[in-house]
Every structure is written in structure tokens, then in C-alpha cells.
Chains A and B, each alone.
Chain A
Amino acid sequence: MSTEPRIPLAGSYVGVRAALGHLDGVPDGLSALQAAIWDPAADVEPRVKELSRLRNARVTDCAY
């Protein structure tokens, strides 16, 4: 596995948006989805969500 990006980076995006930025409207759609998931008004405690996020990253061996 090389350290070169597997596809050209889209615009000035970073992270997963550097790939998704090739698709119209998708980075903004992802932002809206993430805002809904992490909305502090949601009835799942932020701590539980963060634990789930970290554990998911750990078991899938990806960056968090």
C-alpha cells in the first residue's frame, strides 16, 4: 500500500470529504447527517455515542 492518495483529492476538502467531494452535494449531506447524529438534543448520551465511535474505529482498525 503506497502513501499516495488512491484518487485525486477533491478541492480543499480533508479526510473522507476529500474523496466524497467528487460527488455533487455529498460532503454537505454528510455534514447534515453528522450534525443530526451528534445533536446534543438527541436522546442518546454523547458519551455513549463517543464510546461507540471509538470502539467502532478500533475494531475496524481505522483512524479516529
Chain B
Amino acid sequence: MSRPRRDPRAEREAKTVAVTARRRLDLAAFVSPSRRPRRDPRAELDVIEVFGAPRRRYDRTQTTALVSRMMKRAATQDAEPKAPQVRIVETPAFHVFAVLQTPKGRLSRFDRQILGAARMLADAGSGGGAVVALASAATADLGPAGADRILDLGDEPNRPASLRTEGVKAAVEQLQPKHILLAEDDESADLARRLAVTLGEPIMTDAVYLSAKQVARRKNGMRAEEYGEPPRIITLGEDRAANYSGAPCEARAIEDAPALDLNDPAILSVETIPGDPTQLSLSETDFVVSAGNGVTDIEVFKNLAKVMTATPGASRVICDAGLMPRSAQVGASGTVLSSECYLAFGIAGAPQHLQGIAGCDHVIAVNTDLHAKMVERSGLAIIQDAQLVMPALWQLIEERRGKA
């Protein structure tokens, strides 16, 4: 790998103390060959120590985040405070479109991957490309996720896909992007194919590998692979590209977005019917409320899941006891979730259970045991009896609903 090569002469030069005519070296001075600040394990532990616990406890879940924060703090203590560096591409050499889905007005994991892949294509070679995110201008975090520009085509949920395609086509004619990246995911996948057919261009669908030089996909039921230079239109499979993690980009809105006012004569009406999470299967839902062995009043729990419009789940113990159906079991031998949020009441967090929630972005744990694995995994941990928290939660929701 590319660890910087040590240069003994330069190191000696750096350690030279200019006092006498004779050369003197301060051998205690530490010069990091990589110019990275040296780690201080004791200080790192101090930072992640959880206060108020009867015995020493460390919160190791965020170690990397905290350590990097600490190291940054140490670095800025010496230097004068700097404003966060924003990457600005003033006159882009070319454009790369990233068509985003932004469910509920937020970037999903897939959206971030699409932006990451677009960023990679824009920076490849001599670079200088600009990533244009096709999304609502109100979406948060587009800059940090790698977007230089935002093009808001004003899509509403009820706009037919044929008209949405016309919007993107107009944008393509205006900015002539080098690549258009879309997610291989229901509506985006539909849009990509419409775009390829209207523009009459080749498309690489469901790419499993993407670099600036090559893109590949599977065919013949995973018996062969097709590959070639990345074409203009590419749809990327989920978990195939890494997020962008560099300096935040500018995310400047493009003002002169093409305005379109068309209608599709064949489409008579469009109406979106939201799904009911309480009826969905565990693998489809976005929010799961789950009960473990620490929950004794299952009826309260089931009602709470309904009130929170969440899908009820359970640990294996509860399913084995026949308190919840087997289809509700979360974990290795149950369902592996793809939901965004997981609220666990009285679940210890056995490895077989944690496997099922590996993909959840937000985990909330309610448990009486401070040292439970689930508490370690969670982004919000409440050390309290689940039998007290559940009715309180229910009551608070009813109160807020009553007011609204």
C-alpha cells in the first residue's frame, strides 16, 4: 500500500537543534512520517467513557467518529480556527447527473451511494466535473454527500413517469451531462429505461461494478457478465458504490431549470395511496417496534405498535413462547430488516438478533440493563423498565394527537 516512505535525512534535518556550530539532534522530538497526529489511547478512552455509570463503561460504538473529532480538535488548537473548507467547482469541465429519490425529503442510503458514484466519475482522470443532483432543493445534506449543483425539476409525487422523463430529457439537452446515474430501484429504474429509449442511447442496467474506465453487469442468470466503458445512462445496484466522504461540496441551486408544462393524454388520473406499516411485512417496512423477553404485557406492546404506525417485531424468545407469530421474528433465523429505524423494548441484543438489524440506521433501546449489547448498538438508549415506558409513550402520543 502507499505508506509514505521514510526519509532519514529529512527526519534528521527536522530534529536538528540550531545552537552551536556542531550539529546537535533532539532525538526525543517525534516526527510522524505520515504527518498524521499521533494517537493518544488514554485520551481517547477518557472521551468515550460513559459518566454516571456505577462501573467504568466505554461507549465504543462511535469510537472512530469521536477519535476523529478529537484529533481534529487537537489539530485546530494549534492552528487558528479555520472555516470548513467547501469544495467549489466554478466552471465545470463536464456534468454528471445523479437522479435521486429522496423519500420523505431526505437522502436515503441508496441516494448517497448514487452521489458517491457520481462524485467518483466527476473526479476521475483530470477531474473538474460537477455533480448535479436532480432532487428537490429542500433536501438536506446534499453538499456533504457530494453534490456541486442542485437541479430541482419540481417533481410532485403524482406526476406521471412519462412527464418526469420529459423533464430530465430537457435538463439533459440543456447541460449535456457526460453520465446520468440512477438507482436500480422502482421509480428510478423506470425513469432510466424511459430515458434510454427516448434518447435512443445504450444503457447499462443494474451495474454491479462501476469505475471511470469500466462498468459491468450480470446476465444469463449470473452465468456471464457484460462489461464495457461506462455509457451515458447507468443504473447502479444497491450497495455497489461507496458514499462520498471528502470535503463538503457546494450544492448550489441551478436557477434556470427547464420549466415544462405538459400533460400526458393517455393518463387520465394519478393518485398515490400510502402504505399502512402496521400491515406490512417486516422486510418492507421503514419502522419496526420490537419486543423481547423484557416485555411482559404483550397487549400493550401490540397496541403501542399500532399507535406508532409501526410494524411489530419480536425476538426469538417471544416468538417461541407463542406471544407473537413466527413471521414477526427479527434476526438471523427470522427476517433481516431493511428498515430505517428499530425500537427495541427489553431485547438483550444476542448476535443472532443483531444480525437482523445490521442495516438499520437508527436504533433505540429500552432496557433495564445498562450493559446490554442492544444498548451499545443504539443511537438512543433508555435504561428504564419497558413496562413503564410503553404506556407513557402511548399516552404521550395520544396527548399530542389530541392537541393536533
**Are A and B bound to each other?**
no
